[in-house]
Amino acid sequence: MNLIILNKSFGNFKNTKESIFYNLKDNQGLEEIKKIIIKNTPNNIISIDFGIQTNKYISNNTIIIGKESILINSKPVDWSIPRADRWSETSERLNHKISNLLEENCLAHEIASCAQLEYTENIKKREKAIEWIYKNIKVSFIDDNSAELLKIIFEMKLSDKFTFIRLINNNYQLSNNKKDNLLKKIINYLYAKIFTKYHMKKTFSEIYDKKIITKLSVID
């Protein structure tokens, strides 16, 4: 049985004997994921969401399989801490299987590293901070929750069963849902609708037409 963690923009999928689908609404949903994992002991755990490119070689609407993630604070990163203590890696086995599946379905994709920005709102207001991150953090994209998810996965010693897939588009809006008020949540909801309808229309169509999410949910 597989656990598929989805951004709510992907819609709702019915659970089956082979798979459980969980719509991640915000970072507070991570504890709920932990409970689901403990209860169901899935064979594979795959998170599917959006990300923003930081590497000029990665183009909009590319599908990326995340091989590792780092959590970056709004303060400077302490580079004296060994890389192994800052970065978390995903399952090579699962990444390889997903890459084969996407290739078989003629979907362009990459395997790359990413960063999650802690205190997103603080960073978005500091142009020099964003510029510094893009120049100095050698990752291909920025994500909302990859590092937090990996932290839970590593605590549960399940890194050999986990990976994440991100649809890359610069129009995606990074959020900081824990601190958002009701008005901001409404605005974010409306923006998400526009984003999926216009900016990701082609990629979404390919994913649904080729039943990629369903195929991922039964990967062995």
The string of pLDDT tens digits covering residues 122-181 is 776 777 777 777 777 778 898 888 888 888 898 899 999 999 999 998 878 776 555 566
The string of pLDDT tens digits covering residues 175-197 is 655 556 677 777 777 777 777 77
> Domain 2-217 sits in which CATH superfamily?
Nucleoside phosphorylase domain (3.40.50.1580)
Residue environment code for 135-173, b if the CB has 16+ CB neighbours within 10 A, otherwise e: eebebbbbbbbbbbbbebbeeeebbebbbbbbbbbeebe
The structural domains of the chain, with segments of one domain joined by +, span 2-217
**More confidently predicted of 75 and 156:** 156
